[in-house]
Each structure stands twice: as C-alpha cells, then as structure tokens.
Amino acid sequence: MTSSLISSRNTPAKAPDLLANASAEFAAKLAETQALVRRAAAEYAPVTQASSLGAEDVVITHLINSLQLDIPVFVLETGALHTETLALLERTQAHSHALIRVFKPEQDSVIQFVRNKGQDAIFKSVELRKECCGIRKMAPLARALKGQKAWITGLRQEQSTARAEVPLQDDSEVATKGLHKFNPLAQWTWGDVWHYIAENQVDYNPLHDQFFPSIGCAPCTRAISLGEAFRAGRWWWEEETAKECGLHVKT
Ligand code: SF4
C-alpha cells in the first residue's frame, strides 16, 4: 500500500479521504438533484426510494431527510447481505426521519431453490443466478413498488456502459409498469458522491473503505483492484453484459 493510502495516524485511509473530489459543476448538480427530489415528492406521490445502502443511496436518503420530504425508503434484505450492510441498515432505521421499510424474500421459495438447485447454484449458470435474484430481489421489489407512482434510484451514468444513458427522469416504463423512475444522481461523478458524504458526514457502508465500490449480496460481491471497472466486483465470474440483477433491466 502506498503512503497516500495511509492516514497520518498510520491507519488505512477511509473512502471519503480517498475519493471525495467534487466536479466543477457540483453545486449546480446538487441544486438540480434537490429540485428533482422535491418535485418527485410534490407531483408523483406515492413515491419511494430504493436503497441498497450503497454510497449513492445513503446520499439520497440524506437528501430526503435534510429536505424533510415525505418519501419512504425501502431496502431489499435478501438474506444474503454482508454483516456490514445489515449493521448500516439498523443504524439507518434508528436515525432516519424517513420511514425505512424492509422487504425480504419468501422463505419457502429460498428453501426450495437451495434444496433443488444446490447451495452453489448461483455460480453454475447465469440462469440459476438470475433465478436466485428473482426470488431474493425481484419478488420483494414487486411488493415494495406495489401501489407506488414513482421510485427513486441511485443509478449513475458513470457506473457502467449499460447505464451510460440513464436519464434524470425515466418515463419509459409508465405504460408497462405504471411507474415513473427518478435517478437524481444520474450525472454525479463518484467523486461528487463522496464529496457529499464527506461534507455532510453521512454514515456509509464500511465495505467502501475496503474497495467495494458497488455492494450487493455477500456471495456475489468482491473488492476491486486498481484499474478495474466500477462494477467488476459484482458477479465477477460472469460476462460483463449479464451483470444486472433485473432491478433496472427494461422490459
Ligand atoms: S446477488 Fe447473488 S445472492 Fe443476491 S439475489 Fe442475486 S444471485 Fe442471489
């Protein structure tokens, strides 16, 4: 590890120390984000935030709380999250003014999947991995979004080539799903996200300090190395094009 990654107290530097780096347009982007989230609350209720408790999502929850907006937050507790993520969930539930709703998979479905397909099924094929995501994520997501008019996500254009065109407001699934989707951080850089976290001392998942930029379920997430793509640590054994769990895949 180089000296730049070591703090003055000779302890490993934290993610905000390493990553906070506001872009030149940050103030304008923040103002646009705040206006968008306010508009979502005012004009698209009932609206909810989908939170994985990753860096982008803790920023959005912090914005919702600081703007005192009536936007509940939901977390998909898949039963396979890291202990660090579960601990952050507990802290968020304790301190957030916005309601934090937790959605879990049907236990019978999980048990049947493991019993019939095996403990390591997710590593055997993309289809089996997506079946697991369907049980642990997609089915709870459908319950979380039931009755909602809109949802808010932490998608950013920078995260992957598949997300390079993510708009601030996505109305493309209103006809099929009846849902508007807001991506208020679409144009934020990774440095912008961490600048906001550092400036506002937002609580975050300590796995980010261990080079996990994108955090999902424990069996399917690893740290990345210098030079690797942002989502390289997600389903790392699969081809790049397969790497979505379905939450943000258009039908
Ligand atoms: S990310 Fe992995 S453990 Fe989590 S639901 Fe998808 S396949 Fe299952």
User: Looking at residue 13, what DSSP letter applies?
Assistant: P
Catalytic site residue from 132, 133, 220, 245:
245
Q: Does the model's pTM come out above 0.75?
A: yes
- Residue 226: what pLDDT? 84
Pocket test for ligand 1, best of 82, 129, 212 (most atoms within 8 A of CB): 129
Which parts of the chain have pLDDT scores under 50? 1-7
User: Looking at residue 191, what DSSP letter applies?
Assistant: H
Residue 220 bears catalytic tag: no
- Residue 4: what pLDDT? 45
Task: Tell me the C-alpha distance between 85 and 64, whole Å.
Answer: 20
**Contact present, 13 and 3 (Cβ < 8 Å):** no
For 82-134, write each residue's pLDDT tens digit.
999 999 999 999 999 999 999 999 999 999 999 999 999 999 999 999 999 99
- Residue 250: what pLDDT? 65
- Residue 161: what pLDDT? 86
Residue 5's contacts (CB-CB under 8 Å, 6 or more residues apart) are: 12, 13, 18
Protein residue closest via CA to atom 6 of ligand 1: 133
Give Cα separations from 78 to 21, 98, 142, 148, 220 (angstroms): 32, 21, 14, 21, 12
- Residue 182: what pLDDT? 98
- Residue 134: what pLDDT? 97
Residue 181, both tokens: 């989707």
Task: Give the position of tokens 């180089």.
Answer: 2
Residues with CB under 6 A from ligand 1: 78, 80, 122, 129, 132-133, 136-137, 216-217, 219-220, 245
> Cβ–Cβ contacts within 10 Å for residue 235, how many?
25
Q: Say what angle helices 126-133 and 107-117 make with each other, to 10 degrees.
A: 160
